[in-house]
Chain A
Amino acid sequence: MSGEQNTPPGSTRRRAIEYFLGGGILATFASFLYPVLRYVVPPPVADLGVNEVVAGKVGDLKPNSGAIFRFGSSPGLLILTSDGTYQALSATCTHLGCTVQYRGDLRQVWCPCHNGIYGIDGRNISGPPPKPLTAYDVHLRGDEIVVTHKREA
């Protein structure tokens, strides 16, 4: 009780300033610790959401052949047709998810698991595949072959 009476004038203001300062220091520590916590427990990321990928370089592929490239965490298939145009498709078969390949002898895309056949444009032609393969856009940037998701029309 006597302490309160002896409180020098202006001590309340000093305490308020100390609170503000202490709060500021705590907030600074929190801003240091938050990224550390986020590093130790990262947020779940289902897909990296890759929209563009360099699938190869001009000259890597021979005409009438294909190669698998990585599009995010799923495989893509880049085809150089015999007339010299590039075509990029999802390489995941729409039947049971096997990785498809380009067959130069058939001039078609073929799934080795159940003999599913797609056209160069990804259309399902024969065998068990129920749906076409997703087609991607292909652009040339210098000597790089850039594959992107098709833009919505």
Chain B
Amino acid sequence: MASLRNKFRLLRAARTAGLAGVIVLGACLGYGQTTNSCLDCHSAMPDPLGVTQEKFSQDIHAQKGLTCTSCHGGDASSYDPTVSMGAKAGFKGKIDRKQVPQLCAGCHSNPTYMKQYDPGLRTDQLDQYHTSVHGKRLAAGDSKVAVCVDCHSVHDIRPPSDPRSTVNPVNIATTCSRCHSDAAYMKPYGIPTDQFAKYNTSVHYQAMMVSGDLSAPTCTTCHGNHGAVPPGVDKVQNVCANCHVFQAQMYEKSSHKAAFDALGLPGCVVCHSNHGIHMPSDAMLGTGPQGVCMRCHQPGDRCDQARVKIQSGLMQLDGAITQADQTLSVAEASGMDVSEARLAQSQARDQLIKARVTIHTYQASLVDQDVQAGLKIAAKDEQAGKDAMVERNQRRIGLGICLIAIAIMLAGLWLFIRKIER
């Protein structure tokens, strides 16, 4: 009985040791990890064939479980090139540029498939791409135009929300500029290549890159992204109107709309330009180098007279606000409470801002209404500042009289003490 028990013990020990051996061997051989023969070889290759594990692990597709074979076909479990890159395994190799949109659309245009990853993601990118200048030229056989990977990068595609993504709002202009600012690359197309340089001087660039407002316009805001096209001469104001609502509403009803349409001029762009839009100033209504009106209008004509009236009204209100601000500042520095008037000053500034919007009606009488309302508030604030200064002066005179009285009393006291000492 005892020898039989010993045999069982030996058998159990051998079984345990064997199992442990299998586990250790499995761990050494990487059992449980997916074999990726593609990355194992390509990570050691130079560009353009090199793709490292580190790079690919940044890709949103890798993070969602897709592998090299999802796009390139083949068999990643085999280290035999004739198998892993064989026709039998459906190996596609390098994807031809013309095939890229179709390949990406294989998943991205399938709502049922995409829903499992991001139910809110659009699936019309390919349809939109076909309407774009890029898509149309690609269909016509021009493989130099942008396809998906040119903007989204390849093998390290990050979601647009990632600040490192080439299509994150802060990086879009730079991404577009890689081709559009390359004069040699763009030569056959005969379009300007200074858009990026101009955009970098614009108020929109300032809002996006300096103020950090990610909703500020970049290339795709006006041109579209997958369906990128120039907005078209007669549609520019519709694009600008997405943000500049009041200006667009006023422009639509104005005399300029009809005139610009008749002349085939591109709405807002005529005065504000397109890529290099600067912060508007009252000088745009002047006759100096920043002035825009006199490019079309004649000196002394009816419109020029209206221009002079509008500009002088704005300058008058701006000056009145500055003057009232200065008076209030002096009163404040003298220790007077003028916070009520300071608050009212913001209403005067509101009127100035409104008047600058009302310019887009091109009616001097409407602008004047806003200007007069602002002037009334500024005059009241100026008066409040002056009243505060009058009160300050009265207080100072009172203080002076008190000090003189005290000084006379002290002098009297001193004389009296001297008299006693004698």
Contact = CB atoms under 8 A, between A and B. Distances in A.
B31 interface: no
A22 interface: no
B229 interface: no
Interface stretch (A13-21, A77-85, A95-103): A95-103
Interface in B158-181: none
B335 A39 contact: yes
Given A97-B349, A130-B215, A36 B354 contact: no
Contact of A36 (B333, B353, B403): B403
Contact of B346 (A39, A42, A75): A75
Given A36-B399, A42-B334, A99 B347 contact: yes
A128 B243 contact: yes
A73 interface: yes
B256 interface: no
Interface in B47-68: none
A40 interface: yes
Most buried by A among B343, B349, B403: B343
Contacts, number: 60
Interface stretch (A1-9, A54-62, A107-115, A140-148): A107-115
Contacts of A139: none
A106 interface: no
B333 A42 contact: yes
Contact of A130 (B213, B349, B350): B213
Instruction: Give the bracket for the number of chain A residues in contact with chain B.
Output: 20 to 34
Contacts of A115: 245-246
Contacts of A72: 339
Interface string A33-60: 0001001101011001000000000000
Contacts of B340: 70
Given A40-B396, A44-B333, A97-B349, A127 B245 contact: yes
A42 B353 CA distance: 34
Q: Is the interface of A mostly helix, strand, loop or mixed?
A: loop
Contacts of A127: 243, 245
B342 interface: yes
A128 B353 CA distance: 14
A128 B354 CA distance: 14
B298 interface: no
B418 to A, nearest CB: 15
Nearest to A115: B245
Contacts of A128: 243-244
Contacts of A40: 396, 399
A114 B246 contact: yes
A97 B346 contact: yes
Interface in B218-248: 243-246
A63 to B, nearest CB: 26
Contacts of B399: 36, 39-40
A134 interface: no
Interface string B308-345: 00000000000000000000000011110001101100
Contacts of B213: 130-131
A113 B357 CA distance: 7
Contacts of A112: 350, 354
Nearest to A70: B343
Given A36-B399, A114-B246, A115-B246, 8 more contacts: A45-B332, A74-B346, A96-B353, A97-B349, A98-B353, A99-B347, A128-B244, A130-B213
5 contacts: A36-B403, A39-B335, A42-B334, A97-B349, A127-B245
Interface of A: 36, 39-40, 42, 44-45, 48, 70, 72-75, 92, 96-99, 112-115, 127-128, 130-131
| 8 nearest CB pairs, A to B | A42-B335, A130-B213, A73-B339, A115-B245, A73-B342, A98-B350, A113-B353, A115-B246
